[in-house]
Structure 1
Amino acid sequence: MGLCVLVAEDNVMQADLLGKYLRAEGYEVRLVHDGRTALDEVRRDPPDLLLLDVMMPKVNGLDVVRVLRDETAIPVLMLTARSTEDDLLHGLDAGADDYVVKPYSPRELMARVRTLLRRVQRSSAGSTSITIGDLHVDADRHEVRVRGAGVECTASELRLLHTMAASPGRVFSRSQLLGALHGLDAFITARTVDAHVMNLRKKIEVQPRKPAYLLTVHGVGYKIVDGSGA
């Protein structure tokens, strides 16, 4: 069976259209029309990707993401009619991996879907486990551990962390990290990377304001070091 996408969109016609696009790409599709049902469906039978509208009845999309991030690391692509940068960053802060602003082109949407699902499609590839000091990142298992304790990360957070951990000490610019996240840079900004880095520090650092692993190189970007302070 192919990869499964759960579409949570309260507009029935729009949901049906999204289902048509996704099936044309070869994905299995399930449709729901409110946030509560979306939560129930993810818990009943987790999809490979959740395509989630922000404005929905019963439970809105942002709250759906916040609840799910305590339970699962499945990729979440949010659909939003809100176009300001701060509104979009709220979605990333809540735990979404990416967003598409309405109205969107089918080609853009499918490109975003394919990008997020590459993590799932690579699950049978060779090991991508990396250990730096007390930080362990395993992309295949979607697993991050710090000092032996598990850390829940979104797909985008894991991709950023793994990209930098694969080259410890190397400084990555924001544009390079945007490329690692999406392979696209026309619809996202450097602040997207900053939001993910801030969230990662809260998860992997003892003192997020004084990071030991994920360091800022002012005027350039970010890098991963072994956390020893050396």
Structure 2
Amino acid sequence: MNSFGGADVSVNGGNVDVNFNGPYYDNDDSDDEGYWREEPSEQLRIFHRHLDSAQELLKLDVGPNNVFSLNVMIYGHVVAATEGFLSSVFIKTTVGSEELIRRLLETDPEFSEMKFSMSQLFEKREGIKDTVAGYLQKLIFHDLKKIKPMYKSVLGHDLGDISWLFKAVSKRHDCVHRAGYGKDEKPLTFDEDEVAILIQDVRNMCQSVMDSVTKLEENQSNPF
């Protein structure tokens, strides 16, 4: 099953050759001028713009037969925008600081398992920013079990109790991959004001992230 959110592949026996790639992306979307290169302040502005649009859409009177579809689309969009913000800000902030790159290298198991010869030492050292950026771009930032401790160990920001976001990410999966239906083939339910509350919760969380990143950058530019 292929959708704009990814590809799910299931093979039940037989000699089957499975080939897939990222949908709706061409070479221009994967060049060096990645979305994460924008400054965190600009990323926050873009994020708030997404949420403002979502709030306006919630006010539309689309009739009782269309409310479900509207909630499904808005819910998925809000979670995706949150994931995009968390990703872009983390990558931009980390790659822009040698100290933060070092923190990542020292705390992430992926890098501790890398091995190379002494003859490759300077080659690896010169390309460390590209290596780190490439690694982070491949991370799935809705994998909150990995992202939450990374934010803490590298940026020093504690996302706190985000059990609500774990639930939102899980629900977003059904919004994107099953058009709002669960594995039991029953439609999701949205409590009154649930989408509006999610918008406010992610807005507050990402503003808190931005506050920490701003303080971090100020401390690095003024070490004394």
TM beyond 0.5? no
Q: TM-score of the superposition, structure 2-length normalised?
A: 0.27
Of Structure 1 and Structure 2, which has the larger fraction of its residues in strand?
1
- The structure whose Rg is larger is 2
Kindly indicate whether structure 1 or structure 2 has the higher relative contact order, using CA contacts under 8 Å at least 6 residues apart. Answer: 2
TM-score (norm 1): 0.26
Higher helix content, 1 or 2:
2
